[in-house]
Structure formats: C-alpha cells, structure tokens
Amino acid sequence: MQNTTLPSRQAALDFPKASLAMAQCATCSFVWNDAFSDDLIQYDETYNNDVLGSAFYRAHLEARADDVIAAIPGDTPIHYVEIGCGEADFLRLVVERSEGRVHSAVGFDPSFSGKTPLPACAVVHREFFTSDSISKISRDANIFCSRHTIEHIAEPRQFTECLSNALRRDDQVLFIETPSVDWIFENAAFYDFFFEHCSLFTPHALRSMFGQHGLKGEVRAVYGAQYLWAEIRKGAATPDSPSDVEQAIARQSRYVEEAGRLIDTWTRTLQNRTSNGRIGIWGTASKGVTFALIMRQAGQEIGFAIDLNRQKQGCFMPLTGIEIQAPDAVGLTDDDTVIVMNPNYLDEIRHDIAGMSATKPRIVCL
C-alpha cells in the first residue's frame, strides 16, 4: 500500500508485497486490477495520503468545495453527506466555505481518527458505506460527495448501487472525484498504477456505470486533468459515442509502448546522474513510492525523499525503506538532483527550494 508510512526502516523493508495485473474492458473502457484481493488491504492509522501542505492542492480543494456548495440554490439549506471522508478535511472545508449554509454534515470512513474536532453540525461514522448506512442519513440530505473512494473498491457496481439507493429525490446531487485513467495512459504515467487503486475510470466508464442505476452524470477533468469530477443526478443518461471507447482503448495501446520506453529513459537518467551527486524525489505519496520501487527493480536507488507532510517525516517508505524528510533536513547541494513526482507541484517546489538556501540543485519532473 503506497500511502502507508512505516515507523522504522526494517518495518518498511518487511512490508507485504502484492501483484498488479491491470486489465481494461473493451466494451466500456473500465480498468481494474485482476490480481486484487481485499484481504491484503488495511486502512489504519499508518495510512496517510494528506497533501494539504501544497498550495496547489488546497486551491483545488477549495474549487471543488465551491462546486459542491453552488449545486444547491443560495436560499436552500445544505445537508451534506460525504462517503469516504478520511479525516474529514474536505467536509470541514465545505462547512467553512458555505458561510453557515450547511445545517448538517455526515461522514463515513473507517479510518477516521477524530483527532481534529468536527464542526458542531457534523458527525462521522467510523464504517464503510453500505446499504445499512443509508438509515444514518437525514431525509433532508441534498448533497452527497465521495472523493477518492471508488477507485479503492473492488466491486464499484455494488458501491454505485448503494449510492443510487441513497439518492431518493430529483433535487439531490452526488459528486464523485476519482483518478483519470485517460491521463495515466496519455502521459505514460507508469508510476500511477498501484495496488490500492483497483478500479479506474475513463469518463465513459464512469457515466456508463452510473447510467445503469438510473443516474446521469456530467464528467470533466480537474487537477491538471489527473482527476475526473462528476456531477450526478437522477435521470436517463445520454448514450456516449462508440468512438469514446475506441479512443480509450487506443490510449491504452500507446501507453504499453511508451511506458516501457520511459522506464528505460529514467533508468539511464538515474544511472548517469548518480556519479555527479545524490538523486532524490519530492513527494512520497503513491507516485513517489511506485517510482522508487520501479527504479530499484531496474537497479537504481533513490538517495533521499522529501515530503511536506509532517506526519510522514521521520517515517519510511514501504519496501524501499527510504527515510522521508522535511525539505530543510536533506541538506541539498548544487550537485543533487530532485525529481518532482507530480507536475502539478513543480512551480511551488521550485519556489520552496529557491527560498531555502543559495544552493541550486537540478530540478526535473516526471
């Protein structure tokens, strides 16, 4: 599990391994891990995918929260439900930015710790969302949201059925945010397939699945096109063109060729740079963990890892055992190379490095 951080190097080196066998449906373009097993997944206190240290990411969250609030007319109270709310950071943001319009907020997530107080109008149930959870939702609920949850679910159709059963009225709105597998294919992002994400969607696959349950959705790309953002309501879905699936399959075919070439290129890049100084990564979430593992398999070691998430600092990345450090703890020099794991953060990382010291390490981006 890429978003797990371990307290010791040995615990990281001994972390369990699992397999990927990614497949794509030729009919609807849905992508899944055919080797996935729920038995190997555990979401507990060691699971941490918080990237709130990034201004770019915070701006993205604020824009999505504003989308949620704007979906309900301004004179109507908001009764908000979030499925897979994590530590309820987004739930708090919706309440805060609504300026009093949110009258109630209910979250569901088994990993919620409750370390940070909730707004007075909010409650979080420490459980997976199932059909039994619907009874805990107020009949006044008018906005549902599920961000970065459906990609973790091995049977997304069952999850979708639960969501559709929770939507009882035409005025209710459901928002879904999930990674875009089209972006992965188009950018040959070989580091963006990992075990937790067992279900991945194209816009067509997402619309098609919700359409099977009497729901229609408008899907658009957000977060530098890396995520899909869907606004879903009751109603008959408009059929997509067959060319949508054909194009998705073509992207996957190009990915297979291009990803192998990029892995070879990065392997040579690390090999050539190692003699000139250290090579490290900035970003130890899924992309960083996967990239470090693939480079190790190719015989190249990552020298250091930086992350702004303070809860990760001093911990170790699974399997490679690389220690995660704060930016100012690494001691960057002019001879070092910093590989930025996510292009969305390149500008702010350059700014952060420039403000830390007079040294000028080489900065490159995946």
Digit-coded pLDDT (tens) for 164-180:
999 989 999 999 999 99
Q: Is residue 265 part of a domain?
A: no
- Domain identity same for 349 and 280: yes
CATH number (domain holding residue 185): 3.40.50.150
**Structural domain harbouring 290:** 274-365
pLDDT value of position 197: 94
Question: DSSP states of 316-336 as a string?
Answer: B-TTT-PBEE-GGGS---TT-
Scanning the chain, the segments in alpha helix (DSSP H) are: 9-13, 55-70, 89-97, 156-166, 181-186, 203-211, 242-274, 286-297, 346-356
- Domain identity same for 30 and 169: yes
Residue 225 clears pLDDT 70, i.e. is over it: yes
* Mean pLDDT, all residues of the chain: 92
Residue 129 clears pLDDT 70, i.e. is over it: yes
Residue 46 clears pLDDT 80, i.e. is over it: no
Digit-coded pLDDT (tens) for 258-308:
999 999 999 999 988 767 789 999 999 999 999 999 999 999 999 999 999
- Domain identity same for 158 and 46: yes
Digit-coded pLDDT (tens) for 212-224:
999 999 999 999 9
pTM of this prediction? Answer: 0.93
The percentage of residues in the chain with a pLDDT greater than 70, rounded to a whole number, is 96
Q: Is residue 105 part of a domain?
A: yes
- Domain identity same for 239 and 291: no
- Domain identity same for 81 and 201: yes
- Domain identity same for 110 and 32: yes
pLDDT band per the 50, 70, 90 thresholds, residue 321: very high
pLDDT value of position 272: 86
- Total tally of structural domains belonging to the chain: 2
pLDDT value of position 279: 94
- Domain identity same for 154 and 20: yes
Q: Is residue 3 part of a domain?
A: no
- Domain identity same for 138 and 205: yes
pLDDT band per the 50, 70, 90 thresholds, residue 200: very high
pLDDT band per the 50, 70, 90 thresholds, residue 326: very high
Question: DSSP states of 56-110 as a string?
Answer: HHHHHHHHHHHHHHHTS-TTS-EEEEEES-TTSHHHHHHHHHTTT-EEEEEEE-T
Q: Is residue 4 part of a domain?
A: no
- Domain identity same for 193 and 279: no
Q: Is residue 263 part of a domain?
A: no
Q: In what order do the strands lie in the sheet with 31-33?
A: 22-24, 31-33, 199-200
The residue from 226, 246, 266 where one domain ends is: 246
Q: Is residue 256 part of a domain?
A: no
Report CA-CA distances (Å) from 302 to 242, 270, 294, 305, 317. Answer: 43, 9, 10, 8, 11
Q: Is residue 206 part of a domain?
A: yes
CATH number (domain holding residue 314): 3.40.50.20
- Domain identity same for 196 and 294: no
Q: Is residue 81 part of a domain?
A: yes
- Domain identity same for 63 and 189: yes
